[in-house]
Structure 1
Amino acid sequence: MESGSEKNVEAVMDGSKIRDLVESDEVFNKFVERKFEELDHNRDGKLSPQDLRPALTDIGAALGLPAQGSSPDSDHIYDEVLSEFTHGNSGEVSKSQFKEVLSDILLGMAAGLKRDPIVILRIDGQDLSEFLKGPGFEPHAISVFSQIESTGTMLDYVESALHNFSVDHGMPPPSDPWVTSKVIEPALEANASCLEERNVTQEGFVESLKKVIESIALHLKEDPVIVAHSGNTFDGSSIKRLLSNKYELDKAMETTWKSLPKDRHERMSKEYLRVAYDIVAPAAGLPPYGAVNQVDEVVNEVFKMVKADEAGSCNEAEFNKLILEILGDIMLQLEGNPVTVSSNAVVNEPEAPTFLPAASNHGESE
């Protein structure tokens, strides 16, 4: 990952610590024991669905999903994870079941982090100052000015412009409420006198923006901000790799088919095709449905094209044909219009969610 200067990388979460944890029987057994005890409030040796809620919250956060209950599109993923623990019923979960499912989930997370690491950056104002003094600042500022649609004061222009700076420039995410209140607003207040101008010119804008960013850089030097940065491009290449590898493809299809409910004639209702997509998605390098809106739009369009949401049922051969058609069409759409997503979240400490081991120190990751 290239965002942020190498010297500002505090840690890299690349999945190596998670793999080490799961692959060490002694260490993982102790880890499971501790987590199970934390969740088993009544100490009866079993976990109810309610006991598992904190685990689901941490797993969802690690997968980059919205909080449970905030989005119907992603809530079904939480339900599926819970179903994995409870084997599809509302019963309680033993320690051995908990260990088995947790192992699968953590290894899945590790694979995802190996493919798309999360980089913990220390934003200390140095990169921002260097960008400000370099040859790229003024052209960038002029370009931003030309795109701003405002008839307000200089303050309105500068506030809008700050959202066009990112961690690549050394700026913590301006949309983050903490950054707004602790970093941006103090910088704006410190330069209030030059931000009252109503007759906003390009030259005046560039100068005012420069002053505000200088104040932001100074603040960051005194009080650095820790940012978790991740990014990924979905361009269909992972789907193409899966489709060209018969062994991996057959394995993914077989696993998916076995995981789905069937009637006594071994036919599956087509209403489970979206569940099937979520099961096969990791093997195809795709995010779970509900995690990335732009990819969701592609999936919705493809499901409509192949009439996957229509009522009916299918046997295994028909199911395989449908899934291959869905994956192939998603691949073609992403090849033509790749989806690039990145996220920058301010964190107090470079730590992982409860169910993840600590991040690797920079330089120790694989």
Structure 2
Amino acid sequence: MASGLKRDPIVILRIDGEDLLEFINGPDYEAEMALLFSQLESPNGSSLHDHIVKVLEQLTVDQGMPPSSESWVKSNLVERTLQSCNVQDHDKPLSQETFLVEFKKVAGSVAQHLKEQPVIVAHCENTFEGSGIKRLLGNKFELDKTLDTATENAPKDRNGKISKEYLRVALDAIAPSAGLPPIGAIHEMDEVIGEVLKMMNADDGKLVKEDEFKKMLTEIMGTIMLQLECKPVSISSNTVVHEPFASSTTLLPPSS
């Protein structure tokens, strides 16, 4: 199984094929694979090989598959397994039944390779649900200090006014204190933040007094908080941190 050593928020996983075998031999295999197969685009010339690669990329560490989007996994595990399984493309349109049978063979072979040489993966999960913003907004001293820091270097006109276009930059400066990722780091969060900034007409270029600018920043954070409380954003990432070698099985022994 994929046994883990938690290092909040990172979990070190030992992927050794057991979870993958359990998945492909489990009761949900056909239903889940049928769904993934139905979601595949099938342009002319698409092969069984390509379909299998694309679906392997959809499997997660929870199903016992290391991230096949990583070059090492793709070249040393996925492609080598496909070659050893001698996957043959079919002249006629690929049926779901054929795909399920062929995919199971390949996945079983991948699991066997993982059993012989486990792969160590760093798994990270994070959920943005607005609690960091709530803590900041609830601490007036910390909030005032954070707003002062975010605006102290803001370009001002001769009357001390700040362009609303700087709201995005100021929000990015506040992000660490509010438990938010940097703008541009997580697409899903960028969408939430972008929608709120749009609601506030943040890009209209109007000049506002510093106090009003800070008030707008506070309102933006409050709106983002409400959005995240209603619909949290969860993200996860997986990175191979140890490529297998002969003694890899001794690094993280399976839990009993």
Distance (whole Å) between structure 2 residues aligned to residue 311 and residue 209 of structure 1: 55
Contact 2:48-2:87 within 8 A present in 1 as well? no
Distance (whole Å) between structure 2 residues aligned to residue 143 and residue 270 of structure 1: 46
Contact 1:155-1:196 within 8 A present in 2 as well? no
Name the stretch that deviates more: 231-240 or 164-173: 231-240
Query: Which of 120, 129, 134 lines up with 2:21 in the alignment?
Result: 129
User: How many residues are aligned here?
Assistant: 243
Query: Which of 200, 209, 214 lines up with 2:94 in the alignment?
Result: 200
Is residue 127 of structure 2 the alignment partner of residue 238 of structure 1?
no
Contact 1:153-1:197 within 8 A present in 2 as well? no
Q: Report the CA distance between 1:193 and its aligned residue.
A: 4.4
Inter-CA distance 168–270: structure 2 relative to 1 (3 Å threshold):
same
Contact 2:60-2:67 within 8 A present in 1 as well? yes
Deviations 1:310-345 (A, max 9, x none): 334444321221101211222233344433222112
Inter-CA distance 291–225: structure 2 relative to 1 (3 Å threshold):
same
Matches within 5 A, 1:185-264: 185-196=79-90, 198-258=92-152, 260=154
Distance (whole Å) between structure 1 residues aligned to residue 91 and residue 240 of structure 2: 32
What is aligned with 2:36? Answer: 144
Runs of 5+ consecutive residues of structure 2 not aligned to the other structure: 244-250
Distance (whole Å) between structure 2 residues aligned to residue 289 and residue 174 of structure 1: 27
2:35 partner amino acid: S
Distance (whole Å) between structure 1 residues aligned to residue 27 and residue 135 of structure 2: 41
Contact 1:154-1:197 within 8 A present in 2 as well? no
2:181 is paired with a residue whose SS is: coil
1:148 partner amino acid: L
Inter-CA distance 288–267: structure 2 relative to 1 (3 Å threshold):
same
2:147 partner amino acid: M
What is aligned with 1:300? Answer: 194
Deviations 1:330-361 (A, max 9, x none): 22333444332221122347xxxxxxxxxxx9
Name the stretch that deviates more: 191-200 or 324-333: 191-200
Runs of 5+ consecutive residues of structure 1 not aligned to the other structure: 15-116, 350-360
Distance (whole Å) between structure 2 residues aligned to residue 313 and residue 298 of structure 1: 24
Distance (whole Å) between structure 1 residues aligned to residue 118 and residue 90 of structure 2: 29
Matches within 5 A, 1:94-109: none
2:238 partner amino acid: N
Distance (whole Å) between structure 1 residues aligned to residue 116 and residue 60 of structure 2: 19
2:225 partner amino acid: M
1:163 is paired with a residue whose SS is: helix
Matches within 5 A, 1:174-193: 174-193=68-87
1:157 partner amino acid: H
Contact 1:153-1:199 within 8 A present in 2 as well? no
Distance (whole Å) between structure 1 residues aligned to residue 28 and residue 145 of structure 2: 50
Distance (whole Å) between structure 1 residues aligned to residue 191 and residue 162 of structure 2: 25
Q: Report the CA distance between 1:261 and its aligned residue.
A: 5.5
Q: Report the CA distance between 1:141 and its aligned residue.
A: 1.5
1:341 is paired with a residue whose SS is: strand
TM-score, L = length of structure 2:
0.81
Deviations 1:135-183 (A, max 9, x none): 2322212222222232644323322221221111110112112211111
1:124 partner amino acid: D
1:244 partner amino acid: G
Deviations 1:44-101 (A, max 9, x none): xxxxxxxxxxxxxxxxxxxxxxxxxxxxxxxxxxxxxxxxxxxxxxxxxxxxxxxxxx
2:240 is paired with a residue whose SS is: strand
2:122 is paired with a residue whose SS is: strand
Percent identity reads 51
1:286 is paired with a residue whose SS is: coil
Is residue 205 of structure 2 the alignment partner of residue 311 of structure 1?
yes
Distance (whole Å) between structure 1 residues aligned to residue 30 and residue 82 of structure 2: 19
- State the superposition RMSD in angstroms: 2.8
